[in-house]
Chain A
Amino acid sequence: MSSKPYLSLDKISKTYALGREKFGGPERFLQAVDQISLDVPRGETLGLVGESGCGKSSLARLIMQLERPSSGAIAFDGVDPAGLNATELKAARQRFQMIFQDPYASLNPRMRARAIIAEALVNFRKGNAEEINRRVEELAIQVGLSSFHLDRFPHELSGGQCQRIGIARAIALSPDLIVADEPVSALDVSIQAQILNLIVRLQEEMGLTLVFISHDLSVVSHVADRVAVMYLGRIVELGKTADLFGRPAHPYTRTLLTAVPRPMPSSRGKRSRISGELPSPLNPPSGCHFRTRCSFADARCAAEVPVLRVIGGAQQAACHHAEDIQATLNQDEIETDNA
């Protein structure tokens, strides 16, 4: 991996003010993203997993400059878009693009597919009408659409076809980075695989840096080089996909992994079921956010916020007991192997 990261997040936070619940009551804040630092090297696929409401999509919107972080800095190739003026930011937007979760809602219902894909090219004056039209046809072929699809409206197309249009729009400007925010979760399982393979293929062809957000661990394991696990606005574990899935160090990662359905009953180990509900992000637990649902939690977890620290190789975890947990996991594996 190259030494210089393409995308670099430095302690970014996003707090939403929700106003007061009742007149004269305390003002409420939602900490959607809490001090996240992350480096994504050029050409890497970073998987970002977590439950709904853990701040994955907020992070995507922050990266995409659709919202400004409350604090912290983002850098693309060393340039922080916060320091750019409107014209420079518009020019910079060519380099990072997004694939959206809802294939229908992310396409203007009153535009034909051709116009949707062409819009980016028109905005940046990539040639005359004829050249743009030719480029749109190329892009359509690249994402597996036929030219007759281009004259349809989104509601005349299937979810998979709409998502292909969204992908064509995202790659139209030949970006360096694509943020894919749950790109397949709204699609049928049979279509999911097609779209995933398309994204992976485009990434290889174009040398894209990819931030792939999903709540589906099997999808992430299929595409990601590295995986970051988020819980209530924080990254709790980060590591190479094989390491993290094979030897999870954070108890949350562990419970997520045991929740993945396995087809073979014999390979189903002891389930460490998660107990309790996701705490309200309006009023998260002190110290470690996960301690209310963690079987390893002790007094230290309530008092001290665990920081993300290296626990071996490229793997990092934000847990006071990470080493112990990794050790007990290995014990479990040996037991199930013997049985």
Chain B
Amino acid sequence: MPDNSIADLRPRQGFQPSRLIGWVGREPMTASCVAVLLFFVLVAIFAPLIAGDPIALNPAERLTSSSESAIWGRDHLGRDVFARAVYGTRTSMLVGFSVAGLTTLFGVAIGIYAGMSRIGGAVIMRLNDAMMAIPAILLAIALASLMNAGVVTVIIAITLPEIPRMVRLVRSVVLGVREQPYVAAATSIGTSGLAMVWRHILPNTLGPVLVQATYACASAIIASAVLSFLGVGTSPEVPSWGGMMADARSYFRIHPELMAYPGALLSMLVLVVNILGDRLSDALDPRKTRRGSL
């Protein structure tokens, strides 16, 4: 009798440090992006351990450059710029990942329905078109100013205009997947309804969706900064990169570093997320997976 257990046929078993080193060597770009993203995540989680109080005012030392108590200097109210930047990572990451998650959840659910149902699909796509006709940032500003200022408000305000983009992508992918012979094969063996979506449609739609989710994450980080910059984002006492840049605007000529610190962090995080999204689209395709990838 042949051994039928699945476990011993799997090519990989557990974590092997040599594989990780080999992967870093083959894909230095992806590896460094993962490292940077990991760094940002750790900074966001351990912010209280890294930096001091981001809210405490110290008007006596306002607009001073690097000192022992504040290594990146202090802003126009005498707040610790380094601490604010560190805590701002929290806000940006929270908004970015929440928006990506919510957009994916709603976008996939609505998009798959729109792709599977002819009449429902037509109705949804017209509503979608109508929503996409409104500039996303204007819609976000309108929504944010309608509700109380806060992180939750910002997340909702950015997610809503982002969903139609995801719906449109999901629907177009679903329409393609539906025509695949394996869907016809599944129909002929009696698969239908939710089982069809769950086993065949959803798994083969997810690749492009996850890539789009990373772009949604990156653009949400920027959008939250824009909302803060315009003064409709999180409340002023919550440290955010956009808010810091808005505050720094008046002092740009004398203290450009006040804008440079949050700006550089924002660009770096968005860049890293975008590159990883690109790599993800290749890695998620089982046919394109390179031998020995992690």
Contact size class for B?
20 to 34
Q: Which of B103-111, B199-207, B227-235, B256-264 has 4 or more CB atoms under 8 Å from chain A?
A: B199-207
Query: In the assembled complex, which residues on chain B have CB atoms less than 8 Å from the CB atom of A123?
Result: 189-191, 195
A101 to B185, CA, bound (A): 11
Contact B199 A108 (CB under 8 A): yes
Query: Is A102 an interface position by the 8 A CB rule?
Result: yes
Which chain A residue shows the least CB distance to B206? A110
Interface residue count on the A side (C-beta < 8 Å):
36
Query: In the assembled complex, which residues on chain A have CB atoms less than 8 Å from the CB atom of B200?
Result: 108
> Taking A93-B188, A97-B188, A123-B191 as contacts, is the C-beta distance between A102 and B287 under 8 angstroms?
no
Query: Is A244 an interface position by the 8 A CB rule?
Result: no
Contact B2 A105 (CB under 8 A): no
> Taking A151-B9, A155-B287 as contacts, is the C-beta distance between A108 and B188 under 8 angstroms?
no
Task: Name the interface residues of A18-77: CB closer than 8 Å to any CB of B.
Answer: 61, 64-66
> Taking A66-B184, A102-B181, A108-B182 as contacts, is the C-beta distance between A97 and B189 under 8 angstroms?
yes
Query: Is B32 an interface position by the 8 A CB rule?
Result: no
Contact B203 A110 (CB under 8 A): yes
Contact A147 B203 (CB under 8 A): no
Q: A131-166 interface mask toward B, CB cutoff 8 Å, 1 = contact, 0 = none?
A: 000000100000000111001010100000000001
A61 to B179, CA, bound (A): 13
Query: In the assembled complex, which residues on chain B have CB atoms less than 8 Å from the CB atom of A222?
Result: none
Contact B4 A137 (CB under 8 A): yes
Query: Is A124 an interface position by the 8 A CB rule?
Result: yes
A107 to B236, CA, bound (A): 55
A21 to B35, CA, bound (A): 54
> Taking A100-B181, A108-B199 as contacts, is the C-beta distance between A151 and B6 under 8 angstroms?
yes
Chain B interfacial positions (CB closer than 8 Å to A) = 2, 4, 6, 9-10, 180-182, 184-192, 195, 199-200, 203-204, 286-287
Chain A interfacial positions (CB closer than 8 Å to B) = 61, 64-66, 86, 90, 93-94, 96-98, 100-102, 105-111, 119-120, 123-124, 137, 146-148, 151, 153, 155, 166, 169, 172-173
